[in-house]
Structure 1
């Protein structure tokens, strides 16, 4: 079989739909078409900005002019024209994710026109921070003229890829944006629908981006309320269930570091005998202090006051400092680390 060469400087690579329509036979001799090699496709993809794979086409092409043929790839090389018929194929996950990487790179340029180039004809954008439904290139550019000065860069946290049809793929999930203008972050949900164009390039047909509907700070505060409610049941197993499997507890009234579910439960067996109930207080406006260290990871630190039952049946109050480190599992925050200590200057005494 003749050696297949692929020189972009002299070779004409086009889809059959845009091939020379003269119908002129472009063969020299009776050589068969060479096998479609990975190198040929790699060069084509680089030139055209596509990511065709060899499994998208028949490996052996048909000799002859491609002018009247559709639904395939035409390569003119070494004096002959070869048509490789297309067949259904799917882009890899890495290729689909690469489309968002390219979109993200366009954001980084700060050029709204380059971002708009990532959207196909008739594309629809339902943007994160605008109520307007964007359906034209001018409307897309208008949105990104407002959005890009914030210096957004997105990182995908979770995703799912769905192949809806040949040439149609959907990527949906959650991404987090960091804004260089002020260092802030925002997490949002996304869905991209990409379609393969006639030239093989994939462009966005629809992009829907929306802020997370739940108030994450409130979810973290709710996690403390759930923990406090579990204390009220006086059931150590229920309290221990609010700690992650590998959680660490540095408790208020025990020297032992607890780092297994059994040890955490053991601590609460004795602590619940005091019938504790805690209230987060607010000293100098510093408590509670909720900070997000990463998506789904938060720390809540501050002070709380516990009402405890004494051995003689009376009740007293003790103030302590706390740090809860939470991690989100599904829709629920669990405690990864809990450090509680008596106030060092007043030994936890509360003036009433």
Structure 2
């Protein structure tokens, strides 16, 4: 027999027996004594009559609930305990352990009152007998400290003690239809749920993945700003995501388990087969038991913060101004100033040199030669593209060299990136216009043919 069932009915019987002893002499219960049935005894054990016409009696009993509720509001366990009889029994709403004396009742309220309970009576039905009364019904209990609210059934059995109504027995229980029985789960099982999700990704079937989530699951994807708050929305997200061929690998995690929920938190790496890239993410899975199995109620994935590039605001006008800064650096005639406009790992493919310049030292070396020719540069035409912490300026510019004696038209590409709090040239490609080069070659060939043979 369930021990809670046994306790409840055993103690109810004992308290009925206790009240009966108050009505009858002790000898009436001795087997050697035979007495005629008493009208008082019948009134006690038969269905008690309602005092429909005695509003004062009903008001007095209803007020006892309010006195108990007011005692809760004081936050003082001593005041609450004083509402109970000396040998009272309490079956609490939030504890499996019966309290069978005032000391244990007070110890219970010492803890319970820290939750700042607030009680609102929803329904009540009274039974009043000779020297006892019963108030049964439903109340709403709010635990302000925890932010939770529940509805519970209650029974108060009152008895007279030293001329005052006291709580002889109180039984409170959460309404059965709102009770969710605890579903046990082990840490190893929680970790297995991650592997189930991994295998679902490999299936490349969005429905298979979405079926792992609850009906009203909320997903914060790693690659989308839009939350998905239903199973259909989750399936729609995976319909696109799975096209990238994701493969998840758990790196580090820990598990938390409580009543009817479990949480798996940590880091995983997603390998995207379409771009052959790997993305490290933090993740949180919150599992709840729904439709006969553990499902994902909440999934939050985010790229590791140190791997996120925060976009720096930039405009096309700013990008074009950086060309002017580079041109002004040329005018100084100082190769170090020009080289300082380039990023640490910049690559420069110069206009007048075949050798790529892949270090700041090599870039400075080129400009020491180039600046001796007094270059002056102007953009003829160009376009600008903007990205996240990078920008591209490309087009055609012209150089005037050697005091105006030489003019070179060239195509250019500047790629700028954000480095150490400033925008730098990370790539610079400059090449003489191809048709100009061909005309130079034709002139050289013509001149060679016109030379007299010796």
TM-score, length-scaled by structure 2: 0.36
Higher helix share: 2
Question: Which structure is richer in relative contact order (CA contacts within 8 A, separation 6 or more)?
Answer: 1
